[in-house]
Amino acid sequence: MSAWHAKDGAAIVEVTKLAAAEPGATGRDGDQTMSRRATPIAFVSVVLPCLNEAAAVTATVAEARRGLAATGLPGEVLVVDNGSSDDSIVLASAAGARVVREAVRGYGAAIAAGIAAARGDVIIMADADHTYDLERLGGLLAPLTTGADLVIGTRLQGAIAAGAMPGWHRYLGTPVLTTSLAIAAGARVSDSQSGYRAFRRETILGLGLRARGMEFASEMLLRAGRAGLTVVEVPVDYRVRVGESKLSPLGDGWRHVHLLMLLTPHLSLIVPGILATLVGLALSLISLVATTGIEVGSVRWLPVFLGPMLLILGVQAGFLGCLAAHRSALTPARVRRRLTWLDRPDAIGRLLGGFALLAGLGILIDAGLLLLWLAGRSGPELLGVAGLAQALIVIGGGGMTTLFAAGYLER
């Protein structure tokens, strides 16, 4: 079993044995970890989101009940119906589950509703399609009693039945999203998209999860990493689902990427913005020297058309990323420390003055070029100067507009 503990974006990798965690291992701090270890599990709620799973829900609920019985802990199986048009609700209830309904469609919406309605202090989330072996759910509960905040059943370290996981999902989608989460939050897990998880209810409620689709799984890991929670992986087997899959590869994949971009502006905006700014500035300066362009083989390339555009996009992306990261509670501490200048009383005034100066400088250069044109002294050798002037005007005007749109002038 492996565990990682992320704090302020830095990951510490621990490798422990399930039954013998080291006394010195810590979570957010030593006292809190020992408190969690001393807190027994009182009641377990198995939450199963359900949308037209009539073919599998009976067997899944029965298996979950057997798994709960095997642990010796009191508990319940909670099926969250997400708008089924078949007999899923009736079958789930007949199998011994408590059924609640969630009108808002989406995997995340169903799980969130289940967490809110659960009676247990500990929750196990899984799927109602019989893919996970719920008779062995006790394996996910044990780490919670030894300091873990979140336990993930990793399919990639267990036995995956033939045909249970498409190749594009196993070798492309999951690894890409897992790597992205590792970069964004230090979430060093092998299977970030597993839907088989265990956690204490109050801990996850405290993360303020908002995603309503399949990206809920990624948001949980991202926010857990930022909150400094200890995440443990346990190998689980994965079976062929019963019934029709509800996954939308392109749509769900894009929602995961979109979520990561929104919640990590320091990676999605600031870093690309800096790179684009540097490249754009270099090309713009080259345009001032190589006024007739650069020979590339048999053609002549004019960087004056690309340089100013990259300069504009880079500065705007970087600046917007700084504002977003400054306001985001998920921004790593090391990044936040570099943005503390935005909290200074004179920061906004200085930014406005700086952007106004850039725009004014661009206008002055443009005015000088106009006078040269009127005097008949313009030519292609001034294209680089014109491009730089336009970039300065757009950067200055765009910066001031961004401050107004972001509401910083209301402070």
Per domain, the residue ranges of the chain are 2-263, 265-410
Closest among 357, 355, 347 to 408, alpha carbons compared:
347
- Quote the distance between the C-alpha of residue 312 and its chain's center: 27
Of 24-33, 58-67, 143-152, 342-351, the least confident: 24-33
How much is the pTM? 0.74
Q: How confident is the model at residue 330 (pLDDT cuts 50, 70, 90)?
A: confident
Burial level of 294, CB count in 10 A (0-12/13-18/19+)?
middle
pLDDT score, position 3: 53
Q: What is the pLDDT of residues 292-308, one digit of tens each?
A: 888 888 888 889 999 99
pLDDT score, position 407: 67
pLDDT score, position 178: 87
Average pLDDT (213-229) is 91
pLDDT score, position 270: 94
Closest among 179, 183, 201, 204 to 192, alpha carbons compared:
179
pLDDT score, position 279: 97
Q: Give the other-Cβ count within 10 Å of 353's Cβ.
A: 12
Q: How confident is the model at residue 18 (pLDDT cuts 50, 70, 90)?
A: very low
Q: What is the mean pLDDT of the chain?
A: 87
Alpha carbons 291 and 287: distance in angstroms, whole number: 5
Q: What is the DSSP string of 228-256?
A: T-EEEEEE--B-PPSS-----HHHHHHHH
Reading the block at residue 393, the tokens are: 């005007």
CATH of domain 2-263: 3.90.550.10
36 vs 302, residue with greater confidence: 302
pLDDT score, position 89: 96
pLDDT score, position 1: 54
Tally of CA atoms within 13 A in the half-sphere of 193 that contains its CB: 25
Average pLDDT (49-72) is 97
Q: What is the pLDDT of residues 2-15, one digit of tens each?
A: 554 444 333 323 32
Closest among 90, 88, 82 to 55, alpha carbons compared:
88
